Structure 1
Amino acid sequence: MRALEAWQSARVGDLTINAAPGQHGVHEVTYVITGGGRSAYFAGDTLLVPELLTLTERYGPIDVALLPINGLRIRMAGNKQVVMNAEEAAELTAALRPKLAVPQHYAFTGGPIGDRFILKSDKDPARFVDAAARLAPTVPVTVISPGEPLTVAP
């Protein structure tokens, strides 16, 4: 399946859930969720793929973008990158121009053994904050800790 064939939508009450392409070693699904005149993009743990740069053309303005930033790599696969890094997430932020960008996936862990021998990732959200300030200076960034709620005012 080509990535562009993954575009589909479903309705749940007043929300529309739009499946958008992604890539995480295999084809992945990311989501644009719209409702009540607002929208959120949830990138899951995808790499930056060209189709994502067109989300606003397809769905209009994005209010909140939740973007993975850890650049996860698989050591045993020759350090193959499977998640976008902070710079790539900032590139996507610049293309989407959301009203708010929220980094995520930076606290991911494979456990002590996995982190030391199998996986390699960047756990510092400040790298995204800095890259976003450089590439998308008009987009505010909010870093939240795992489990911390975020309320976005209308």
Structure 2
Amino acid sequence: MSRGERGVEGRITRRRLLAATAGMAASALLPVGMLRASGGEGLRIQRLAWAGIRLQLPRASLFIDPLTNPDAWGLALKDRLVPVSDASDESYVAITHAHPDHFDAQAVAQALAKGGVLAYPAGTQPLPMPAVARARPSVAWEPQLLGDFTATPVPASDGYGDPQVSWVVSAGGRRIFHGGDTLWHGHWWRIGRQFGPFDAAFLPINGARFGWRKPVSGQPGVLTPEQAVAAAVILGARCLVPIHYGVAGATDYEEIEDPLGRLRAAARGKGLRIRALAPGEWLDWNGGA
């Protein structure tokens, strides 16, 4: 083969590779209805403890912010700690940020016991990194292809200003949003325009106020129930699943009273289903209360 023929073949190969990659990334931007029409296998979602969820396809698992370590909150968290050691052979973990109640190295090691990818916000360094994990620092707005999951980190705001993302995940004919423990910010509209509507948005609701950093602000460092409803409406979510609530008695950490009651009250008349799941419960796509 001549140098010219090799050059032509190389250009064709690169074009095919770029076209294939663009096609896979573009699937993250397709309307939800088009995703469903693709005939993909169904997605199931289980709520874990605190802010964690498990996305399950027939042959693959993706965990977001899994928590199994009782030392993260001690007796202050009443949630049942749901095991993640039964993950599929093809497993992935994504975290929203590196705080110990969202990056639990023990849970990540259990979920990735057979190997797999840990995706996390670029600019952070979750430590200790489990030996079995393949690190995937992820830049905001850049889709991460994790097997049959397409997970895109999008901007979020941490109560302390530490680096954080939320995750948009498309898989099995569904698209969901996971907010970690973000507070209110100005990116909701762009995220909704780029990726909405969503089948479900998993959003924090406890409006917690912190006393750990001085001077104390007295302002919520996590979405309040009313803000979570506003975010879900802007995102075009059909269903809001509350996460990140249920702590009582923690030092210098004050959760608002009755976050679920306030959430349901705020959602009235908004055309938004509220689906409160107990840890370990699976989402019924048609349910709601």
* Same fold? TM cut 0.5: yes
Structure 2 unaligned regions, length at least 5: 1-121, 123-138
Aligned position for 1:47: 183
Aligned position for 2:265: 130
Letter in 1 for 2:236: R
Q: Output the CA distance in 2 between the equivalents of 1:98 and 1:120.
A: 28
Moved over 6 A (4+): none
- Could you tell me how far 1:102 is from its partner in structure 2? 0.9
- Could you tell me how far 1:146 is from its partner in structure 2? 2.6
**8 A Cα contact 1:106 1:123, kept in partner:** no
Flag the structure with larger Rg: 2
Summarize the alignment of residues 1-154 of structure 1 with structure 2, pairs less than 5 Å apart: 6-24=140-158, 25=160, 26-77=162-213, 78=216, 79-107=218-246, 109=247, 112=249, 114=250, 117-122=251-256, 124=258, 125-134=260-269, 137-152=270-285
State the aligned residue count: 143
Q: Output the CA distance in 2 between the equivalents of 1:40 and 1:120.
A: 28
1:82-112 Cα distance to aligned partner (Å, 9 max, x none): 21111111111221121211111112x2x63
**8 A Cα contact 2:150 2:169, kept in partner:** yes
1:8-43 Cα distance to aligned partner (Å, 9 max, x none): 220112210010111112231110101233100000
Q: Output the CA distance in 1 between the equivalents of 2:196 and 2:172.
A: 14
* TM-score w.r.t. length of structure 2: 0.46
* TM-score w.r.t. length of structure 1: 0.82
Q: CA RMSD in A?
A: 2.0
**8 A Cα contact 1:22 1:29, kept in partner:** yes
- Could you tell me how far 1:51 is from its partner in structure 2? 0.7
**8 A Cα contact 2:203 2:242, kept in partner:** yes
Q: Output the CA distance in 1 between the equivalents of 2:274 and 2:206.
A: 16
More strand by share: 1
Q: Output the CA distance in 1 between the equivalents of 2:271 and 2:228.
A: 15
Structure 1 unaligned regions, length at least 5: none
Q: Output the CA distance in 2 between the equivalents of 1:47 and 1:62.
A: 19
More helix by share: 1
Q: Output the CA distance in 2 between the equivalents of 1:86 and 1:92.
A: 10
Distance 1:95 1:118, change over 3 A: same
Letter in 1 for 2:265: D
